[in-house]
Structure 1
Amino acid sequence: MKPFLLWGVALALVSLPDLCVAQTGNAYRVVGNSIRVTRASEWNSWIFQNDLVSSLNVPVSEADVVRVETDGLRPVLFHREINVAPTSGDFLYPDVVRSAGDPTFGGASVKSNTRRASNVIDDDLSTYWEPDTPTSFASRLGDPGDFHIDGIRNWELEIDLGRLVFADSVTIIFPAGQFEDEYLGQPVKSLALFASMGERFPFPLGNNLRFSLVGQRASGFTPGTGAGGKGDGLVATPGTEGRYLQMNFPLEPLDRADWDLDGLADITGGFIQYVRVKIIASDLWRHAYLGAGEEGLIAFEALPTAQRGALVYQRRTAGDLLVELQGDGELNAEQRYESLPEEKRGPILYYVKEVPRISEVKVWARGNNYAYQPERRAGASFEHGGLGAPQLATDGVYDTEWAANTWSPVYVKGTAWYDLGATFWVDNISVVNKRINQSHLGAFLGPDIRVSDGTLLKPLNMETLEDFTQLEDGLRWDNIISEEHVDNHTPVVRVFQEDFPMRKIRFLQLRDIDITGQRSGRYGSLATLAEIQLYGEGYPTSISAYSPPISLT
């Protein structure tokens, strides 16, 4: 479904003199009797204006609902089920947990072979990450890198998505070994996948992130057999003709999501910002035995260089037993072997080396979050009473929150309004409350979420954020909270969703309501809303761009 778009362009003419002389401005050119806008640099000077609040506007170049291209403006089409990992480096957020709010970009980081970190999120399967590995078995003595038993602890990747998203699954893609005449690498032997929303560890004031185990798997991969052993979850990657294999890890909520108290989460998927892949086992230089003596050497030399593994040197004992030689402080194993009399030298054993590589890590989000930083498109938020900061529930950070005091009609507090800045086609609202150790543990007593497409019930005159209070009576609102989610006293759910038929939404009104009335309006009785996110697909229902004032004098 791709709902249609209404697209508008408005010119602001200031005066109308003789138009015989060509004139220019940052946003236009006047040539003869025409006004021309044909360059990207000119469109970038146009304005994306909030059509209700006169003080809210941003340059078109900053609005995330339009793209400036060489041939003009183009509206953005929003999709479902998108891989959000490749764009993680585009997002900047305050890391309030680990660096006291320092601005931080998302992206990929690793503990070994850092120059290849970005390869796992570049959306290109031909690139890959692998641990820091010596060029040969012999060179490991001078430069072992991390390709040894103690170095495996550094075989760890972390992807910071740059913002909190609601994701359904994580897919890890590996090369499938030998493909035709090319050796691509192979899946890792065993790994564990962890995820984090950005919650503090230790709770509640720690400066590290709390990660939860999503799954642990062994690939069971054997060279030349394609996918691994039974039950390992390693399958061929669609569209790659067997060149790549993948594991898929379904996600579950990382906090309480059980309304009916049956011990199971009521939804699939979960909020995450960080993904960590920890490789926990490897065969290193002895992935598979090739052979001994001359026969083994021939097979060894036929291997691609990357697959050439250990050479095991043996000494014959007086009883004609074979003992593996080890290096000592003065000589390595090969040198000790060469120093032996010929009759004491046993056959050399040859091994295939493991070549563990990860081609891509994909994080499958529900879609584009329409509520993420609405200020980017001249949207905004406001709380009646000014006790909280509602913009912190749409900033993409779990550890910042809107503190929603329990609402009461008697007091001026506890209502937040959001203007998304544009009207979107939406069929899902996802909510996560930040866990705290007081009040109702951060959860809503009763979430009250109302939505509007902007249909007016009476005229509005809005100039500043304080005028958002006019929205309550000035717009037509619909309650989207389902009956089973009205009372959260006992379940204490902090992660939930509301699904509904596709509808147009631009405005939100949020409250925490105690249906018993016992805590209504009480100070200190609050929900901590970490994030509210909206998902759907299609174009925004209407977009308008405005020129700066055009002088024709």
Structure 2
Amino acid sequence: MRRHDNKLLSRVTQTAVVLALVSASSVADVFQFNSKRDWETWTFPPGVLVTNNDGSITLSRVDKAINAVSNSTDFLHKVKRTRDLIPGGIRGFSNESAVENLVDGRDDTYWQPSQNDVLDDWWIEIDLGRMVYATKITLTFPDTTDAVPFRNFSVYINDGERSTAAKDIFQFTRVGRTTSPNESRVVEYALRTLDPGPATGEHLQALDTLSFAAVQYVRFVPEEIHD
């Protein structure tokens, strides 16, 4: 019996993001500067502001689905252990030199674990560098004749919140799992958030399921070596 290589690509799709500035004065939705010097004390990420023809400045709008994995290394966040700022990215414990292929945005590259490593070392973790509201996670396996998709696996997420405030310990929630041996080249898991909400009323129609989830970390954990 011959062992086939398991190979994997991954992607996280983010929902639209709308930002708003709320004034500290009595005029809603407006923030005013009294001098050029005050304005220059503020810094904004590139692309956040739009200068309009009338001289007004507004926030730009992101209203399309994007791959939140593709720019994960552009974002920095602090780790408790060293208090250093680190970028997002990906880590793995098997065939570490190839794990970057999972997030390079190319269709012709992939990651496969080393057949010499034990199954417990085959898991990988993607750090988006910041928390995003994601609608789905897409796993894409390469379409090659000499490889088969992972057969059994689970997918977990965490929103960046620590289980212990002083340590980098995170609790993950499983959002997807194979219920039978997988043979698909593309596997998608829609993300949901249960939100009962505080509102009450006789004729109130409340939706308690949101069509996204807060995500910063994604783990892919194989559960079987395919022979």
TM-score, normalised with respect to structure 1: 0.30
Q: Are 1:215 and 2:167 matched, yes or no?
A: no
Q: Distance in 2 between matches of 1:212 and 1:94?
A: 22
Change (3 A) 1:208 1:173: same
Change (3 A) 1:52 1:219: farther
Change (3 A) 1:247 1:93: same
Q: Distance in 1 between matches of 2:218 and 2:149?
A: 18
Q: How do residues 329-340 of structure 1 correspond to structure 2 at under 5 angstroms?
A: none
Q: Distance in 2 between matches of 1:92 and 1:206?
A: 18
CA contact (8 A) 1:174 1:246 kept: yes
Q: For residue 33 of structure 2, what is the aligned residue in structure 1?
A: 52
Task: Deviation per CA, 1:460-486: give whole Å up to 9, x if none.
Answer: xxxxxxxxxxxxxxxxxxxxxxxxxxx
Displacement of 1:100 after TM fit? 5.0
How many residues are treated as equivalent by the alignment?
Answer: 180
CA contact (8 A) 1:191 1:218 kept: no
Displacement of 1:94 after TM fit? 1.5
Displacement of 1:77 after TM fit? 7.5
Q: Are 1:115 and 2:97 matched, yes or no?
A: yes
Displacement of 1:79 after TM fit? 4.0
Q: Are 1:173 and 2:140 matched, yes or no?
A: yes
Change (3 A) 1:62 1:116: same
CA contact (8 A) 2:151 2:181 kept: yes
CA contact (8 A) 1:189 1:218 kept: no
TM-score, normalised with respect to structure 2: 0.68
Q: Distance in 2 between matches of 1:273 and 1:266?
A: 20
Displacement of 1:62 after TM fit? 5.8
Question: Bigger radius of gyration, 1 or 2?
Answer: 1
CA contact (8 A) 1:107 1:159 kept: yes
Q: Give the unaligned 5+ runs of structure 2.
A: 1-30, 50-59, 201-206
Q: For residue 329 of structure 1, what is the aligned residue in structure 2?
A: none
Q: Distance in 2 between matches of 1:105 and 1:199?
A: 17
Q: Distance in 1 between matches of 2:139 and 2:85?
A: 28
Q: How do residues 100-249 of structure 1 correspond to structure 2 at under 5 angstroms?
A: 100-133=82-115, 145-146=116-117, 151-178=118-145, 183=146, 185-201=147-163, 203=164, 206-217=167-178, 220-221=181-182, 228=183, 234=184, 245-249=185-189
Which structure has more strand as a fraction of its residues? 1
Letter in 1 for 2:188: N
Q: How do residues 18-417 of structure 1 correspond to structure 2 at under 5 angstroms?
A: 52=33, 54=36, 55-57=38-40, 63-65=46-48, 78-96=62-80, 99-133=81-115, 145-146=116-117, 151-178=118-145, 183=146, 185-201=147-163, 203=164, 206-217=167-178, 220-221=181-182, 228=183, 234=184, 245-253=185-193, 257-259=195-197, 265-283=208-226, 287=227
CA contact (8 A) 2:192 2:209 kept: no
Q: Distance in 2 between matches of 1:130 and 1:123?
A: 16
Change (3 A) 1:79 1:130: same
Change (3 A) 1:58 1:176: farther
Instruction: Name the SS of the counterpart of 1:189 in structure 2.
Output: coil
Q: Which structure exhibits the higher relative contact order, with contacts defined as CA atoms closer than 8 Å and separated by 6 or more residues?
A: 2
Q: Distance in 2 between matches of 1:206 and 1:265?
A: 32
Q: Distance in 1 between matches of 2:66 and 2:45?
A: 22
Letter in 1 for 2:181: G
Change (3 A) 1:78 1:267: closer
Letter in 1 for 2:225: S
Instruction: Name the SS of the counterpart of 1:209 in structure 2.
Output: coil
Instruction: Name the SS of the counterpart of 1:132 in structure 2.
Output: coil
Letter in 2 for 1:52: F
Q: Distance in 2 between matches of 1:198 and 1:60?
A: 25
Task: Deviation per CA, 1:363-402: give whole Å up to 9, x if none.
Answer: xxxxxxxxxxxxxxxxxxxxxxxxxxxxxxxxxxxxxxxx
Instruction: Name the SS of the counterpart of 1:163 in structure 2.
Output: strand
Displacement of 1:186 after TM fit? 2.1
